[in-house]
Structures are given as C-alpha cells and as structure tokens.
Structure 1
C-alpha cells in the first residue's frame, strides 16, 4: 500500500523513486525474531542498536544511488520517528552537504527549542516562496498517502487548508542546508 502511495505522490511531483526491501520500523525484528519497535516510546525513540548494520546498508545504497553533486534532502527528525532518524543518520555518514526539511505533521506542534535541537550546528535557513500551483502539488502529493490522511486530517480539503495556512505563516517552504 505505502509503495503505491509513494509512486502516486512521486508521479504527481514529477520525480522518480527507488524502493528498498526494508519494511517500516513496526515490522522489523532483531536476530532472535523479536519486534524492535513495539510502543510509541520505541517508535519515537532512538534507533535500536540491532539496526546499526541497517544504517550502514542505507549509507552504502545512498552512496551508490545518489550522485555526489545531487542535492540530498533529509528529515530533520522532528517528532523523533525512528525511520526518519535512520534515514538522517545514514545520509549524514556520506559526509556531504545535506538539505533538511521539517517533518510534517510533527513540525506543526514542534517548539522552537525542539527545532533548534534537531538542526545541525552549521545549518543555514533557506526560504522558498510557493505559488498556488506549488501548494496544490505539495498537498496533492501528501494526500496520495491515503492510508495516513485520516490519522492527521478529517479530509483532503482540511489537509490543503492547513498546509496553505502553514506555508503562508512561514513565507513558503523552509529548508536548512548544512
């Protein structure tokens, strides 16, 4: 289901995608077969030590798939979701400039202190103004994740209204480069 949603969102944005064989964290297990993430505390906590080889695997995959001169955009890890942490840690091992985005919907309730705690020390803010067409593409891509939509919004219209208000309050989309 999520892979189909990824494909639909990427198609709407005109970008290519690459899926790995790594399941979402709630399905991953350690060598003895025990689930690694069994509660909100673990789901939004640190990466399990048993997943260090997975971090290394993802780093190698990124190194092989993403050209060295490409702009790589990774989550800030607001909210602390372990899958977001995994991607960020793997990307940071590449030792190249990265762009960071505020993980939505976690960003909508994050405090300034939480944001600062997630930013790399060398991060520089870049603001990208968004046209109505940009906002429509962004919210349509978000709505492509139908399996998650009702977890956070009552409807696609509610998602669109919230994202338009959020982007307006920020003056566009924000990315941090480090």
Structure 2
C-alpha cells in the first residue's frame, strides 16, 4: 500500500501526538516518519514510563540493569531521559515526559504490613509485575495497574485537548504490558488513532490479528528516510547495545495500521 493514506491521515489533523511507552519507542518505531514530518506538521512525542523506582529491585529489574551496564536505576533513567531529549530535539519535535514508573519498577499500592515486611527480602512480592517473562511481557494488564491506566488516560486527554489531533499509538507487538496499556488507553479514547508496529519486536512477533480485525485496520509501510534512522536509534546509547547485541540495526520499513474507510470504521 502506498504511503499516501498515512500522509493524508496526518495532514487531515492540525497536529500529531505520538504515544511512546518508553524512552526510545517512538524513534525505534516511527523515527523515519517523524524526520519527514518535522517541517510540515506540529508533533509532540509523549513518553509515559520515564522513571524507575527505589530498591530493592526484582531479579528481572536487576538483570535489566546488568544488561545496560548500569549500577543505579535512578541514574540510568536520568541518562535515558537526557538521551530522549537530545534525539527529539535533533528531530525538531516537541516532547513530554509523563514521569510514570516503568513496569519493571511499579509497586503494588495496597498490601498488608506482613507482605511489605516479606517484600524487603523478596521484592517480587511488592511489585505489580514480579517477573519479566511471566508477567511484564505476558500481554495481560494487572488489576493492580488500574490507577496507571487512569493516569495514562489523563495524559492523553490533556495532550489532545482541544481536538483535531491524530494519535499514533503502539500495537503492543510482543506483548509488553506497558505497550499494551498505552494501546488500550488509545483504543478507548475518542481520538482518531493510527497504530504503529513496535520495532524491533515486530522482527520476531506478529501483530495480533484479532485486534486488527476488530478495528478494521489496514497496513501501510513507510520506507522514506530509513537510511538515517539507525543513527537516530544509536542516540539512545544506554539501550542500543542491549536491543541490538549483534551490533547492526535492521533496515526495516516502519509499519502503520490505519482504519479502513471502506469497512465503515469510525474515528
């Protein structure tokens, strides 16, 4: 499919709001498109989960810190925020950091004194998503995360008021809860939404066909500007080596899913 439908969707609105779960997702999945839009459309990249949390950390969180060669979570996330600001400033787009804790570090809000005491020795008991594989990347939003859903919805509402904005939201390819949570909020909103396929996870996992059918979405591949995208991604120095351990960043088209007007989809 030609990119004309995507360009038409963007130009039909006065501005573009890109929802980025983490401090790199927007550029990983949409960097080439953002570079093309820079002189033509007002763009705001809103990153939701931009902070860590205090120790003690779960085993999964400690593994992530080792993977990124970080000894302190707060310093790591401060560096990640700096990296994100630098890349987005270079692209010439506006940005906003919502300040919510990353899923690896989100804690339960209500629990008894006994559980809190045990959690000092077993931090998993204190966290909404105790493990990465069984919880954070399992494609299910915990009931304990209802407050986070409301916070993300408040951020989106503020960003899109007044109306006439187009929202880009993740498809949650790969099942990461933070991506799924953001997709869910966008899906429930009254905004016009185009979904982007989460790179690099879409190199290994497929888009959820049930979600695509439910919203009558059609695929659009974006290939303009891909030659410069790897350099943008490498601006996220703390993450690039962990995401691409072989050293090379695949040159893959950006994938967007748009409402199929012929199917009678509604904004």
TM over 0.5: yes
2:219 aligned counterpart, secondary structure: strand
- Aligned pairs for 1:12-161 (under 5 A) are 12-31=90-109, 32=111, 34-39=126-131, 40-45=133-138, 46-67=140-161, 68-111=163-206, 114-119=207-212, 120-130=214-224, 134-154=225-245, 158-159=248-249
1:73 aligned counterpart, secondary structure: strand
- In 1, the alpha carbon distance for the partners of 2:208 and 2:189 equals 23
1:98 aligned counterpart, secondary structure: strand
Q: If each structure's strand is expressed as a fraction of its own residues, which one has the higher value?
A: 2
Q: If each structure's helix is expressed as a fraction of its own residues, which one has the higher value?
A: 1
Is 1:176 aligned with 2:257? yes
Compare 35-44 and 119-128 and name the one that shifted more: 119-128
Q: State the TM-score, normalized to the length of structure 2.
A: 0.56
Kindly indicate whether the alpha-carbon contact (under 8 Å) linking 1:101 and 1:175 is maintained by their aligned counterparts in 2: yes
Q: Which has the larger radius of gyration?
A: 2
Post-superposition shift, 1:123? Answer: 0.9
- In 2, the alpha carbon distance for the partners of 1:152 and 1:100 equals 22
Segments ≥4 residues shifted beyond 4 Å: none
1:72 aligned counterpart, secondary structure: strand
Post-superposition shift, 1:69? Answer: 1.3
- In 2, the alpha carbon distance for the partners of 1:2 and 1:117 equals 34
